Amino acid sequence: MTLTIYGVARSRTSRVLWTAGELGLSYEHIPVIQARRLADPDAPDAPVNTRSPAFLKVNPAGQIPTIDDDGLILTESLAIPLYLARKHGGPFAPNGLAEEARATNWALFAATQLEPHTIVIVFHRLDLPEDQRNEAAVAAAMRALKPRLRELEQVLAAGGGYLLGDRFTVADLLVAEVLRYAQPAPELFEATPAVTDWLTRCQSRPAYKAMQALRAAEPA
Q: Cis (ω within 30 of 0) for the bond into 206? A: no
Given this model, what pLDDT does residue 182 score?
A: 96
Q: Is the pLDDT of residue 145 over 80?
A: yes
Q: Which of 71, 90, 109 is the last residue of a domain?
A: 90
Order the strands of the 28-30 sheet from edge to edge: 28-30, 3-6, 66-69, 72-74
Q: Is the pLDDT of residue 78 over 80?
A: yes
Average pLDDT score, the chain:
94
Q: What would the mean pLDDT of 14-29 be, rounded to a whole number?
A: 98
Given this model, what pLDDT does residue 105 score?
A: 97
Q: Helices then strands (H, E): number in the chain?
A: 9, 4
Measuring CA to CA, how many Å separate 127 from each of 130, 203, 210? 8, 22, 26
Q: Which of 41, 62, 90 is the last residue of a domain?
A: 90
pTM: 0.94
How many domains is the chain partitioned into structurally?
A: 2
Q: Are 179 and 115 spatial neighbours (Cβ–Cβ below 8 Å)?
A: no
Q: Which of 13-17, 41-45, 132-136, 145-149 has the lowest mean pLDDT?
A: 132-136
Domain of 121, in residue numbers: 96-205
The answer to whether residue 218 sits within a structural domain is no
Q: Which of 72-81, 130-139, 171-180, 188-197 has the lowest mean pLDDT?
A: 130-139
**Alpha carbon distance 56, 164 (integer Å):** 37
Given this model, what pLDDT does residue 187 score?
A: 93
User: CATH code at 18?
Assistant: 3.40.30.10
Q: Is the pLDDT of residue 207 over 70?
A: yes
Residues 188, 128: one domain?
Answer: yes
Q: Are strands 3-6 and 28-30 parallel, antiparallel or unpaired?
A: parallel
Specify the length of the chain in residues.
220
Q: Is the pLDDT of residue 135 over 90?
A: no
**Alpha carbon distance 177, 32 (integer Å):** 20
Given this model, what pLDDT does residue 113 score?
A: 97
Question: By three-state DSSP, how is residue 220 classified?
Answer: coil
DSSP for residue 165: B
Q: Are 77 and 12 spatial neighbours (Cβ–Cβ below 8 Å)?
A: yes
Q: Is the pLDDT of residue 127 over 80?
A: no
Q: What would the mean pLDDT of 20-43 be, rounded to a whole number?
A: 96
Q: Which residue has the higher pLDDT, 216 or 124?
A: 216
**Alpha carbon distance 8, 217 (integer Å):** 10
1 confidence band (pLDDT: 50, 70, 90): low
The answer to whether residue 212 sits within a structural domain is no
Residues 36, 62: one domain?
Answer: yes
Given this model, what pLDDT does residue 126 score?
A: 63
58 confidence band (pLDDT: 50, 70, 90): very high
- What DSSP line would sit under 2-67, residue for residue? -EEEES-TTTTHHHHHHHHHHHT---EEE-PBPGGGSS-TTSTTPPSBTT-HHHHHH-TT--S-EE
The answer to whether residue 126 sits within a structural domain is yes
Question: Residue 12 phi/psi, 5° resolution?
Answer: -65, -5
Tens digit of each residue's pLDDT (9 = 90 or more) over 160-191: 899 998 899 999 999 999 999 999 999 999 99
